[in-house]
Structure formats: C-alpha cells, structure tokens
Amino acid sequence: MTSADMTDDATARRFRDSLIRQMTDDRYLSPKWRPAFERVPRHWFMPRLFLFTGGDRYTPLGSRADRDKWLSHVYDSDMCVTQLNGDDTAWDTAIAQGSVRGLPTCSSTEPGLMAWMLDDLGVTAGHRVLEIGTGTGYNAAILCEHLGAASITSIDVDAALVAEARTRLAGLGHCPLLVAGDGRDGYPGNAPYDRIIATCSLPRVPAAWIEQLRPGGQMIMNVSGLLGGAMLLLRKNDSGDGAQGRFTKRWAGFLPARGAPGVADITPRDTEDGRYDTGMTTLAPDVLNTPAFAFLAWLATQDARLYWADLDDGRRLTCLIGLDGSWCEIYPDDGGKRQVDQGGPRRLWHLTEQAHTFWAEHQHPDWSHFGVSMQGDDQRVWLEHPAQPTPWQLPREGQTR
C-alpha cells in the first residue's frame, strides 16, 4: 500500500475485525468466506466516499480528512457510495462546496450481502466466476482471495472504474481479467463460467449470461424494476437448454444497470382517439408500499414508475407512468373509492388491480414464493412450482416509443 491513510495498520484491522464479528453474529458470514473477508482490506478500495445527507445531497468523506471517521464508514455494515453521476467531477464539486447533489452510479455493496450472495451461489474452489459490476474491485478481491485471480473475470461499463479497480487489485497482488463493457453481453472470451454474480440490477436475465454458464452452473442477480424486485438464484439445466430458479428469501436491491432509457425519455400518451379513461377503484395506492405486493405490481406493470402530483386544491395524486407513455392517476380516497384516470396503450391501474386479485387469492405471498423458468426467449414467472405459472414474464428492458 502506498500512502499512510491506506495502510492496513492495527487501527484499520480493529475496525475490520469488528465488522467481521457483526457479520458472523448476524449470520451473513459463513466460516468458508471468513478468511477472505479477514484478509482483504475494504478501505483499500474506497479512498473516497459520499455520505447521504437527505434528498439527493451527499457530503464527501476522504481517507485523509478524518481517518477514524472514514474507517468507521468503510467498516460499517452498510453499502458505501463511491461515485455520483458517473464521473469524478461530483467529487471535486463536493470538496469545493462541502456537498453535492447527485445520483449514485457506483457503490461498494453491503459486506453482509456480498457474503450471503457468494454463499447462496455456492462458489467453491476450482470454479470460474464472472462478476458483472466490478465497481471498486472489493468483491473481485474477495473472489480472488478465495479462488485465485486466474478464475475471476469481472466487467464494468465504466472504463475509469475498471482502470482504478485494476490498480487497486494489483496493489494487493491480484490480477484477474477486468473488462470494460456492457455487462448485459457477459464476457464470452472466458466462458463457460461455473458461477455468475451480478452487482447491478436488470429487469430480466440477459440471455448471454445463461449461454455463458456451463450446464449445471448457477447465477445470482437482482431482478428488479422501479416498483419492486428481488434476488434471483438460477441454475442452468444439465441439458444445457434453459434455466430455472427461485427468488431468495433474503431481500436486497442493487443500483440499476446503466444504459436503460430514463424518465426524461417518456411522453405521456392518451388513448387512440385522443381521450383518456376515467373510472373508480377500491384499491388504495398505498398497497404499493407493501414490498410483497410491489413485487407483483412490478411484474404486472413492467417498466412503470411511481410519482406524486399535487392538484391546485392541495389534493395529492398517486401516479404511474410506463416507458410507452401509458399512465394512471389515482385520486385521494372518497368514501372508500377513488377516481382513476388512465391513458396510453396499457391500463396500468387495471393491471395493478389484477395483480392484487392474484395476490389476495394466493394468501399474499412474498417474492420468495416465486421462481422463474427460462426457455428460449421465455422468462416465465411461477408461484411455488414451475407447474403453477403466473400470468407474468420477467419484463423486457424498457423501450421508449
């Protein structure tokens, strides 16, 4: 290690030991992964952090400013935001102004979550692993410690992050294959892989990942949209054709993969004849705050996102809008019923109501009761068992009109 603040001295090790004790007590860290987490200094991978201060504001915390404060955040059980807005200018602004507004584009995953993902994935000596989302390089370092760098390939869409991770990993003596590119395509150059781990989320499993897994190989990823999602553990069929798996009981969410269309690309649309539908609903939009139901609302409405709008009279509307311009607005409760206006090619609130009927009829299951079977282009979601298909497929990545 180079500068004094990055040294793995007794102070840094004391912070690390405390994190490892907590991860063990919380049953996130198994004896199998403990040595790798003990050996890899997390602080080496994140000399610069952004601390969330509310709204979309962050303050900078560097390794040199207040080393103990910085180490206490690095070795906290939480995730650490390490990049905003996809470049380094946010850091310079935050240092100059004391804080900055932004959207996280890279973070180091919660260590406990990293540990259980690796455990659930069944990563074992001799495995070749592809990681999607190199980020800081910390997870890649844990994998290198456990399996040896020759078994690890890691890809990130951000070439600057890849370059920095390469330097940091090399500083610890690890030289895995790091690639700059869109992780949706995986990396065929080192396939087949025994395991694939994704640390950014997508609404659907990229076909390339299943192609690049060996038969019987497994992958874990956060499948999610803007309303909900969960962690999916999939196994490629021994025949080499298709894959199957379940959503894990433990819930987690990841930063969305970059490269998808954003809200700025959406134009609300009316129905074909230039009008919109008005009706009434008994379903309270608050139900979207229930994580178990939000998972199904996401499957039913696919790329829809939630927002709120205030009327002139002070009343607040709950609204959904999809990338194809479909929208709905739900008015406040009026004696147990609410007005709903809907426009565009899909009736988003009708789809939400249908999902709610399904959810109620099946005793309000959470995501862990669902699984996915992949065959060709099909990514069919089932309840409890593949023989019990739901009406839903995993959503295709959004396309604006």
Ligand X SMILES: C[S@@+](CC[C@H](N)C(=O)[O-])C[C@H]1O[C@@H](n2cnc3c(N)ncnc32)[C@H](O)[C@@H]1O
Q: Cα separations (Å) of 182 from 162, 204, 214, 249, 280? A: 12, 15, 21, 29, 44
Residue 30: CB minimum distance to ligand X, A: 19
Q: What are the E-state strand segments in 167-304?
A: 177-180, 193-198, 213-224, 229-236, 243-247, 277-281
Smaller CB distance to ligand X: residue 161 or 372? 161
Smaller CB distance to ligand X: residue 257 or 348? 257
Residue 189: CB minimum distance to ligand X, A: 15
Smaller CB distance to ligand X: residue 109 or 352? 109
* Length in residues, the chain: 401
**Taking each helix axis from N to C terminus, what angle separates 67-74 and 10-25, rounded to the nearest 10 degrees?**
30
Taken in order 340, 345, 348, 350, the sign of the CA dihedral is positive
- Name the CA dihedral angle for 297, 302, 306, 309, rounded to a multiple of 10 degrees: -110
Smaller CB distance to ligand X: residue 75 or 254? 254
**Bridge partner residues of 375 (DSSP):** 378
Smaller CB distance to ligand X: residue 79 or 292? 79
Residue 178: CB minimum distance to ligand X, A: 11
The whole-angstrom separation of Cα 65 and Cα 232 is 40
Smaller CB distance to ligand X: residue 52 or 308? 52
Residue 256: CB minimum distance to ligand X, A: 7
The token pair at 50 is 């952004």
Smaller CB distance to ligand X: residue 108 or 248? 108
What residue ranges bind ligand X (CB under 6 A)?
A: 105-109, 132-133, 135-136, 138-139, 155-158, 161, 182-184, 199-200, 254-255, 257-259
Quick one: which of 97, 102, 96 has its CA closest to 84? 102
What is the DSSP code (8-state) at residue 283? S
Residue 318: CB minimum distance to ligand X, A: 29
DSSP for 142-176 reads: HHHHHH-GGGEEEEES-HHHHHHHHHHHHHTT---
For the stretch 274-290, what's the b/e string if a residue is b when 16 or more beta carbons lie within 10 angstroms of its beta carbon? eebeeeebebebebbee
Residue 292: CB minimum distance to ligand X, A: 24
Residue 257: CB minimum distance to ligand X, A: 4
